[in-house]
Amino acid sequence: MIRVFIRQLLPRTWQPYFLNMGWLLFGRSVRLALGFTVGVWVARYLGPSDFGLLNFVTSIVALVSPLSQLGLEQILTRERVRHPDARTAHLGSAFGLRGVGLFIAYAILALYIVFGGQNSEITLLIGIASLSLPFHLFSVVDAEYQARIASRYSVWVRTGALFVASGLRIAAILGDAPLMIFIWLIVAENLFMGLGWWIAAEKHRFSPRNWHFDPHTALYLWKDSRPVLLATFDILFAHAFVYETGNVVVSTLQCIYQG
């Protein structure tokens, strides 16, 4: 019905853009509603201690996750629009760059685990959660769909992965599962998303098996993506500072209240 309304109201040249925007808005709304609903349920099930630990572990992994993406999303989409014939080089080079970033991310996590002074349980949980990082590499497929003004496929992949993972989280709650299962479900959600990107790319005939790494293309993408990567890190470190400050304030108030 929305598609018919847009076709009747808007000029033909504008229709693909509004339909694409509608898909993005729909996907974001569904994921927000579903994520919030299931997230509240998980929080009530785990309780303050385990849910706080879950958020701590995911926050640590989130701090290094930009290195597995390198801020290439907008840059790669722009280049796919400018040079539509260089698809295999663009996607392959972006994938390779993200692979290097992933290696650096794991090195930073390893240093944190060694020198961070965390206990063995937290170290294990961080190690498990970090297994989700390699699947971020395949989101370069999203840039191709954005360049084609076909974001509905990206919406299907992201929303489908969230639906499956949310169903598993609900099953875990009903089955009285421990915290570690919910950490594994974070990995599972990213695994489903990575498989979704791969299947979508295969279906639309730009299979990852045909991508190739081009050093010149990679260097160009890296130079343009650095400002975006730095801005992303600034935001994440600001969030981490606020989060850590909040923990200190809460701990202080608890000591005052209990003392």
- CA dihedral sign of residues 156, 68, 63, 184: positive
Reply yes or no on whether the pLDDT at 170 is more than 90. yes
In this prediction, residues 169-189 reach a mean pLDDT of: 95
CB 6 within 8 A of CB 19: yes
Helix (H, G, I), strand (E, B) or coil at 212: coil
The mean pLDDT of 134-148, rounded to a whole number, is: 90
Does residue 121 carry a pLDDT above 50?
yes
CB within 8 Å of 185: residues ≥ 6 apart: 165, 168, 169, 172
**193 has pLDDT over 90:** yes
Whole-prediction pTM: 0.81
